[in-house]
């Protein structure tokens, strides 16, 4: 377990801020234990939550053949056939994974291959489970072409708390197992759009581990 690079500055700032607050708390409230100890505990808990949010566990993609892995930690909340209007402009199978603030928020590529399409969309910050969050929230759209020529669209969607979508993908770049796709800060969801003939292995309510859980086969 390590600290993700996206958290270096935020964690450093949080450590400094927590140190200052703990010093002030000790300086002014040490004589008042009913206030001193709860406040000190609250500061340490908040610092812990910030640090754990940016944790980066050691994960290894062991998928084989046409298996596709979950790009993120979270809970499967949607599996349905929908119209995908941005890139495919046709019917696709959508699988959506909701990420809580307690999940690991690093995102990984779902398969080996190359990147066909990348686009960033500024937008709103509706709650991640809102029906319009996939089309109106801040989001990125990234399409991966597998080694078999089939394509899967991955959409990082910001939530009510998330305020920054981060992605490392560029069009035409090659990707391989265990590559990081990007990062979403503080709660969000990831939508995947598969060809209609894809076998969806995930089920509603399943808890996924990014870069480990196999969610589909094509």
Task: Give the residue numbers annotated as catalytic, written as ranges.
Answer: 188
Residue 2 tokens, joined: 């390590």
Kindly provide the b/e burial profile for residues 127-159, where b requires at least 16 CB atoms within 10 angstroms of the residue's own CB: ebebeebbeebbbbbbbbbbeeebbbbbbbbbb
Sign of CA dihedral 73, 74, 79, 83: negative
Residue 164 tokens, joined: 């920054």
Interhelix angle 33-53/8-29, rounded to 10 degrees, is: 180
How many Å apart are CA 18 and CA 83, to the nearest integer? 47
Beta bridge partners of 143: 117, 153
Residue with tokens 């035409």: 172
Residue with tokens 């050691």: 58
Walk across the sheet containing 180-184 and list its strands: 106-108, 180-184, 165-167
């Amino acid at each position: 377990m390590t600290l993700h690079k996206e958290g270096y500055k935020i964690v450093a700032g949080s450590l400094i801020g927590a140190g200052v607050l703990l010093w002030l708390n000790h300086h002014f409230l040490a004589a008042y234990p009913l206030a001193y100890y709860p406040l000190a505990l609250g500061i340490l808990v908040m610092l812990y939550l910030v640090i754990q949010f940016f944790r980066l566990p050691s994960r290894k993609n062991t998928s084989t053949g046409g298996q596709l892995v979950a790009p993120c930690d979270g809970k499967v909340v949607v599996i349905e056939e929908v119209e995908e209007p941005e890139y495919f402009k046709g019917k696709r199978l959508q699988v959506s994974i909701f990420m809580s603030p307690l999940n690991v928020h690093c995102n990984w590529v779902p398969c080996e291959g190359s990147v066909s399409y990348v686009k960033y969309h500024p937008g709103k910050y509706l709650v991640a489970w809102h029906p319009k969050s996939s089309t109106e929230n801040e989001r990125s759209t990234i399409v991966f072409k597998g080694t078999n020529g089939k394509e899967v669209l991955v959409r990082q969607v910001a939530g009510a708390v998330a305020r920054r979508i981060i992605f490392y993908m560029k069009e035409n770049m090659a990707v391989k197992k265990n590559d990081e796709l990007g990062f979403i800060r503080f709660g969000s969801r990831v939508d995947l759009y598969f060809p209609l003939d894809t076998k969806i292995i995930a089920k509603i309510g399943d808890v996924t581990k990014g870069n480990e859980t196999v969610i589909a086969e094509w």
